[in-house]
Homo-oligomer: A and B are copies of this chain.
Amino acid sequence: MKRPAPTLHDVAIAASVSTATVSRCLNFPDQVAKQTRDKVMSAVESLGYSPNFGAKAMAARRTNTIGAIIPTMENAMFARGLEAFQEELRLHGFTMLVASTSYRPEIEEEQIKSLVARGADGLLLIGHERDPEIYRFLEAQGVPALITWVFDPRSERPSVGFDNRAAMMEMAMKVIEFGHTKLAFISAVTAQNDRASARLNGIQNAMSSAGLNANDLRCIETNYGIEEGAVAFDRLMTNGPRPTAILCGNDVLAVGALRRARELKIAVPQDVSIVGFDDIELAQVAYPPLTTVHVPHREMGRRAGQVLVDHVKNGTPIKSVLLPTRPILRETLAPVKAGS
């Protein structure tokens, strides 16, 4: 199907110069005489020539490409951060390659290998938790990787992100301050996901430090999705002791819970408080507007871009960046009802 694309050589012939001259025209235009340059450029134009990236990468030993591997593009929070990341890269002449893994570690591994093979000069990864083998591989390949969306003070690997545990703990404290003692948590799947488990820990920490028994936390793990949040809410409210406040691992789950509450005619926040995490746009337009933890996704993407580019270009060591989060009180969190 694909017919052979024009090569440097074809252009050289068309312009009756050497390939070196053509290459220089394209990469260092001021090193070649105007007259020659025009000749070459018009040949490039008329042939529709575009340099072969593989050959270029091989000869020049750099690609100006950075790979980003995220769990899913369907999550607005990643989409935002990445958009900012890409903008930052563009500013410095880098191109971003994205791949998504659907939260499957084996696909992540495949994608990492694929991007490395493509000559990515650096990688953006989400979260710390992955097979150590992968870190060894990146090491062997000499490809730097920047961890984001998390900031784990205990990890030796630098990252640009926020402290999931502390952020959720702060929110849980708020909830507890509102008088809630019967808490539940609709969590994302925690296996292979340090963000999700850190958030769970945050709640448990808050409970302990407030003198509650962390074991009393009812917790449901579920996949990502509005419907999933709805189902979890249903289970929480139908079976077992009813919580008065439900924390959710992310806004999407929270919005699902909110929807089911409406369907079940359970008033939010009068009958039950619901809070989310991430503060994506959804949170503001939900009804009632969702109380949630604000995360500066764009800022995170930008900073990650700066740090990574600086490292790849100038060898500046990667330094961790901790970004602040804060609870946003909107309307789905209210003081517990007397008698609950």
Binding site for B on A (CB under 8 A): 1-6, 47-58, 62-63, 72-74, 76, 79-80, 82-83, 86-87, 90, 95-100, 102, 107, 113-114, 116-119, 121, 136-137, 139-144, 226, 252, 255-256, 258-259, 281-282, 284-287, 311-312, 315
Contact = CB atoms under 8 A, between A and B. Distances in A.
A38 to B, nearest CB: 19
A83 B137 CA distance: 27
11 contacts: A2-B143, A2-B312, A6-B140, A50-B117, A50-B137, A54-B57, A73-B82, A73-B83, A87-B102, A95-B99, A259-B284
Contact of A116 (B50, B114, B281, B312): B50
Q: How many copies does the complex hold?
A: 2
Contact of A136 (B48, B58, B226): B48
A221 to B, nearest CB: 21
A47 B286 contact: no
Nearest to A49: B140
A80 B75 CA distance: 9
Contacts of A54: 53-58, 63, 118-119
Contact of A144 (B1, B83, B90, B259): B1
Contacts of A5: 140-143
Contacts of A79: 73-74, 79
Nearest to A285: B255
Contacts of A315: 1
